[in-house]
Each structure stands twice: as C-alpha cells, then as structure tokens.
Structure 1
C-alpha cells in the first residue's frame, strides 16, 4: 500500500477515470471504507461537489476532452474468466462489443462536446438556470444526433441548432459572447484588406453561424483523434443477444462486463413489458433506473456527472423471448407492441425528464427461447418452438420417420451457435428487431461444467462457504465423487446453476450450526 491507497483501490480509481473520461477521477483520492469505496478530495476530504463558481464557467461545467485507454477484449475476457466459467464464444462477443462501446463513447457527439462549445461561446443570461442550460444541451445533442451537422448552410441540423439558440437567447437564458458574433469575426478579417466577408458581417440571419461552425470544428477535431477515426455519423450498433438456458449465467456475464467498465448496470425484465399506456412495465423507466445506478457509483457527484455516467450505462434486457409474437390477428399489446417499444429504446433517445441519453448506452439482450417462452408450456407443440429445433429444421437435420435421427446430429450448443435473424423471426421476433440483434449462445449446463464452476469460479458457493468455515478453524473437503453428486442434484432441478447455492447450503448446514 502506498499513501493509504491499496492496489485494488487504484484499479477502481483507474476504472472510474476511464468511465468518465478523466473528468472526475484525477481530482479524487480513493479510500477503502467498510469494504466499499468512498470518494474524497485530496486536500480537505470534501465530496466531489465544489463551489458553484468553481464548477461552472460562464454557465457550463468544465469538461476535459480526453478519455482513458479502452479496456481491450482480451483484458475483458480475462476478467470474465474469474467468475463466469465456460461459454468462451459469448465472452469474446461481449468483450468485443464492450470495446466498441468504449470507442463509441468517444466518437458519438454527446453532452461533453456541446457543453464545451457553449461554454466557449456563450455566457449566462438574466434568466439562466441549471435546468434550462441542461435542457438546451440535451436539445442540441438530439438535433446533432438525428441529422449530422455539417458546413452546408441549408443542412437540417444547422437550422435546428440556430433555432434553439435563437429561442433561448430571446428568453434571456444565454447570451453569445461579443467576440463570437459573426460581425465581429468579419471585422477582424476585413481589417486585413478583404471585402469578401462584408456580406457575411452585415447579414443578421448569420448571427449564430459562428457558434454552429464551432460545433463543426469540434466534430472534426474528435474525428481526427487516434481512437476516433471515421465519421461521427457512423453510430449504428448491433445489440448482443445472449441465448442460453435458465441459470446458464447470462445476467452474471452482463453484470461483470458493467463492473469491469465501472458503468451503471440495469437489469430489465422484458417479460413484464407492455405497450406504452397499458398496465405493466414500460421501457420509459430505464433512464430513471440508470440514473439511480449512477448515483450508487457517484454518491457525492453532481447531477450532471451522474447523468453523464448514466448515459454510458449497461442495460441488460432479459427474457426478450417472452415477447415473441404468436398472435393470429388482432393487436397484442403484450407482445407485438412491446417489441416495437423495445426497438425504439435500442435506437436510443434523450429522456427529457432525467436527461439520460440512451443512444450512447450499451444494450445487451438475453433469453432462453424455449417453447415455454411463448406461452406453450402445456402444448404438445412446445418442443417444436425451441430455437434449436428451428435451426435444426433450417439446416435439414430434423428428426426422420419414427423418431430416428440423423447420424451426424449436432449438439445443443452447436445448434445454438447457428442461430440467425431468420430463426429469430420464425420464433416470433419482429424483423426490425431481429435485424438489430447479434445472437451468441451460452454453453449448455452439464455435470462437467458445474464441477468447474464449483472449483474455479470466484463466486462459487462452495468456495465461499469453504472460506467462511476456514475463518472459524473448520476445513471443508469434498471429494470428486461428492462434487459429482452435487452437480447431479443441481441438474435434476432443471434450473441451470441457480440451485447450486441452495444445494451446498443444505449440505453443510449441520457444520454451520
């Protein structure tokens, strides 16, 4: 330990610096407190919140331009290997997606860029408030996202930004600095003997042109950085879809990705999802959940810092297969309409209540895709609705005749690896949503895999109980045959690895009594 900061604390501080792009972490010292992390200033121990005059510069906070280096896919896989055993393809797929999410955080024009330009060219108006300035930042960000801004004078984004600036200036929420006005810029160039700028200087409609030009320059600067090559308009993203049996570790995998990135994590159960306006869960609650998760990571941070962190959070939408379309005519508000709302969420938008920008979040979907997923638990055709059965039919490997099977029948894991958009559509996912999803499968739960989980996983209930007993002077030893019996007992319950904790607890409860 050096200077009161342990290696684990230094790692957490580095992760926080990467998550926020170096905006907060350099000002903090991380100290352990009851096993957690408390954020303190190095000088006086105060929280992140500073004096209002220090936090704001002409109405907008000071924001750094640079981000820390992204976590590489190999680093992410090594982190996941400590807790999640097996499923190497799923780990690699999520690790690559997580890397590009970090790159996208640097490429997509967001709050930081807009705030930086407004801070450089504007000052507070007489009626300025934090809420109004934050509202303007969100509105300009949304305008730039929908229509990439450029030097074309007739571009939609340029007109939208000018209209927003004119509206907020008329209401005295902000004022453009004198040196940023087009006329003043033109006079400085005319003094060098030119006449080409005279019309530009006298044109009242070009009052906000200098500010819009600043957005264009900032955008180009971001494109020229080493990690951000390519146009910022390339913001399309594919959403990983983790397919696996119940208890195979889908949620744990997504949660550990978020932990390594030091980003807020939200687990959303799509089985309760309904169309907007109907009773049930609604995707509109996701921004609020992200903001609450960000508050846990930054308990002493400002609201603006929390919103910025929440806008890069990880959202795991589980049980997406429960909303597969199986209706024959009519309007199914629980399935088809819910999928449409889910598609809108994956496309991203700026939530006007919280300010959270979902277009920069990292979305991961998951599901088991069994016959029971679409309400056919008691149907004789339930097995035919399994996604593996759909793939099997597509590949021409279905069962022949009186139950005979093809000699080269692939395993369940091999079938799940072949899932594509057409299979998802046949299962009941709408084409627009199926085209956005990138399926990747979890390794099916087996006796050998369960034994590896007990022995290797950092979160193994058996290892945790052994350490707990060792602290009281009791050594717990279980033979290979004993572990095999535990694995069989867990598999017999048909819930993946979930019953493992309960089985181990009942096994050693007499020792703990």
Structure 2
C-alpha cells in the first residue's frame, strides 16, 4: 500500500463511494505526500507537515466514509470525533488531548492484533502442548496456598519435569487421539486468570477522566489476580490456552513503541461537526465557549507533544480532516488561526437522482447487495428491476429536497419500508424469488408519501 499513486487511491475509494471526485482527489494527494515525505532526508523531512483538509457539505454525502476508507486502505490509526463533544463540560470544553490519547489506544489495539496474528501459530502449538500435558495428568492446575501467594510474591515457578517412559507413552497415545479429533468434546479443568473489577467509588470524579483512568489502572495492578478453575471442553480449552500463550509471547514494549510511531507517522483524525463550534453572537454577547473549543483544538492541529500512558506522542505529522455542513455558519467565521491550519478546502456536492441510483447498485457494499445477502441467508432470492431502482432513487432525491437533506441515508429509510413485509415473512418465501418492480415500490410508499406529516416521521 506504500506505493499507491493518487490515481490508485481514488480508484480504491471509488469502489465504495459514489461521486465526490474533488474530495477523493484531495485526500489522495494528502496521503501520497506522506509517502513522498518518508523518502526525503531527515533535515528536510522534519520541515514538511501535512496540509489538513476541511470538507464542506451536507450530511450523508460521504465525508466520514472517505476518511474512514482512506485510513483502512493504508491500515492507519483512525479516530472520528465530534467537535461538539468538547463543549459539553466546563467553560471551554473537555480536555482535547483525549483525541490523541484515544488515537494511541486504537493504534495499540491495531498493533496488538497484528502481533497476535503473527504469533498465533506458535502460541497455538504451545497451547496444544500444554493441553496434552493437562490431559495426560502431567500438568496440574496450581493453587495459591498462602496469603502472599495471592500477590505472586512467594509463589514459586514450577518447572516441568521430563515424563518417564510410561507417561511418554500415554502422552503419545493422547496426541494421536487429539489430532484425529476424538477429544474435542472431552471435559478438562484449566486455570483462568480473572482481574477483579474495581469498585466505581474508588476511581475518579465526574469530569476528571484522566485521574479516573489512572486510578483504575493502579488498583487493577495492585489487586490480586483471581485464579479460578473452569471445566471446559478441549475445543474451548485450546482457545483459552492459545490466548494465554499469546499474551506471554507478545513484547508489550515493542507494541507500545510501534503504536506511538504509527500514530505520529500515519494517524488520521476526522473532526466532525466543526461548523457547530463557530462562535456566533447571541443575545448575551459572543459565544466564547465555542471559540474556546477552537482555541483548545488549535495546538493539537498545529503540532504539539501529548503525554499518553504509552509515552509522548508528537502531533506534527498527524493528518487532520475537519468536516461540517455549514448551513448556518461559514468557514470564514472560524477563528483565523484555525482557518489557517486547514488550507485545503473541498466542497462536497449534494447527491443527484443518478447518484442515488448508483449508490444502490454499484459500490462493493451497495445497499441492494446487502439486502439480498441478508435474505439469501433464509433461502429467499430478491430481484430488483431497473424501474424499481430508479423509482427509489427519485423518491430519495424528492424527500431530501422537500424535507431535511440527509443524503444517502434517505435510501435506508426507503428500502426498509419497501422490504419490511418481505423481511417480516421471509420464512414463507423460502425457496422463492421475489421480484421488486416499480408498482411494488409505489404500493408500499405512496400511502406514506400522500400524508405529508406521516412522511416526515417515517421517511
């Protein structure tokens, strides 16, 4: 993925998102510039920072989806956050550094999943070896015997002794039966380590999320691990032991280092509803709270160092994509410093009838494809005529024009109404092919469309 050209990036986005070529082009160039930056000498590389993007357009036209698909395309840590979240608490909002801390958590989870997948075969082999020893009676569950053992202070690590010939023969016999699949339903007793929950009264106070989280981790580390014995099948035991062995094999310091690097070099933050924090002038003077949120977010976007529990994270090279409908306000009403940090502005177009028609059938995750797959799971085949698809697209466009414009999401409400009865009685149609034509669509939607008030609630 590191060698994707802007044209290839746009082509990949086209597989899932209809239209909005300008926005796709902007994010493709931003992503390619990241790859170009990596090939530069260090002294020049440090001077080049990403050009953040401001997307302007109504809801449901693909702003979030473009950013999310872009991050998934290059396996980059991605976080979507609403700007209004930071106006909820206090005068100027919550601690905006939580954006980077949350992004670091996502990166750690991504790297852990990758390491887990890479180590799975080795962990599974170790788990199967342990499982066979447990089945053969060569490894017994350990129980803490003293109060200090609960904390793991004086609990000695038991070494595995080599089995004698008789035990070795029993082990080989069990191994043969195990690999033939004869032991899958046998019951076995294994140890499961559980971390006791920390009482809610012991952590944090309202609004002090960071302190609460720190206390939570502190008490989790201090409280003894609860070791319980569970009777499970061999198949279940294999999965539990594989997970335990994976945890032993993972180098957590390496995971944290790689996660921080990934956030710094390829992290993408999508800040939605940016138009809702434009400071307007009301009856009681300027709305300084909203402008305060802009000023709070500004250092993160400009480039600063945020301290997380995995180490310091520099935000200089994180790509920030802001988005908003800007129905009431205008981008020029943002504070000048904030505007300057989003030099690339892209206006997304409202969807046309043709766009709605293509959204229903063309993308790899097309809505009609999803509905067909859901009903095929019950043995029912759906067939949509071109006229039916066109009618649904026209109705979506008409409803967006007459009511609130919610973009492609209008198609969900229309499809749900059209297919409601079929979905409800899917078992009765098992083995049949149901043909959805224009008349079928109109029969189900016309009664609602004729009643204006009803259509506002349902469609």
TM range (shorter): 0.5 to 0.7
Counterpart selection for 1:479 from 372, 385, 398:
385
Query: In the alignment, does 2:9 pair up with 1:104?
Result: no
Task: Indicate the RMSD between aligned Cα atoms, in angstroms.
Answer: 2.4
Of structures 1 and 2, the larger Rg is shown by: 2
The alignment's TM-score, normalised by the length of structure 1, stands at 0.50
**Alignment-derived partner of residue 215 in structure 1:** none
Query: In the alignment, does 2:101 pair up with 1:288?
Result: yes
Structure (1/2) with the larger helix percentage: 2
Distance 1:277 1:104 in 2: 39
**Alignment-derived partner of residue 73 in structure 1:** 6
Counterpart selection for 1:345 from 295, 300, 315:
300
Q: CA deviation at 1:481?
A: 2.6
Q: SS state of the match for residue 476, structure 1? A: strand
Query: In the alignment, does 2:266 pair up with 1:316?
Result: no
Stretch moving more, 480-489 or 335-344: 480-489
Deviation per CA, 1:55-83: give whole Å up to 9, x if none: xxxxxxxxxxxxxx442211111110000
Q: CA deviation at 1:499?
A: 2.8
Q: 5+ residue gaps in structure 2?
A: 116-254, 425-459
Query: In the alignment, does 2:339 pair up with 1:434?
Result: yes
Counterpart selection for 2:319 from 354, 358, 362:
362
Deviation per CA, 1:288-337: give whole Å up to 9, x if none: 21122113322255222222222221100111111112127956343211
Distance 2:95 2:420 in 1: 41
Deviation per CA, 1:124-159: give whole Å up to 9, x if none: xxxxxxxxxxxxxxxxxxxxxxxxxxxxxxxxxxxx
Distance 1:503 1:282 in 2: 40
Distance 1:359 1:512 in 2: 50
**Alignment-derived partner of residue 259 in structure 1:** 72
**Alignment-derived partner of residue 447 in structure 1:** 353
The alignment's TM-score, normalised by the length of structure 2, stands at 0.55
Q: 5+ residue gaps in structure 1?
A: 1-14, 16-68, 108-219, 224-230, 375-386, 388-423
Query: In the alignment, does 2:365 pair up with 1:459?
Result: yes
Distance 1:497 1:475 in 2: 25
Distance 1:245 1:295 in 2: 33
The 3 A distance-change label for structure 1 pair 295 and 327 is same
CA contact (8 A) 1:273 1:334 kept: no
Deviation per CA, 1:395-436: give whole Å up to 9, x if none: xxxxxxxxxxxxxxxxxxxxxxxxxxxxx32xx111122223
Structure (1/2) with the larger strand percentage: 2
CA contact (8 A) 1:274 1:333 kept: no
CA contact (8 A) 2:92 2:293 kept: no
Distance 2:46 2:89 in 1: 29
**Alignment-derived partner of residue 468 in structure 1:** 374
CA contact (8 A) 2:61 2:408 kept: yes
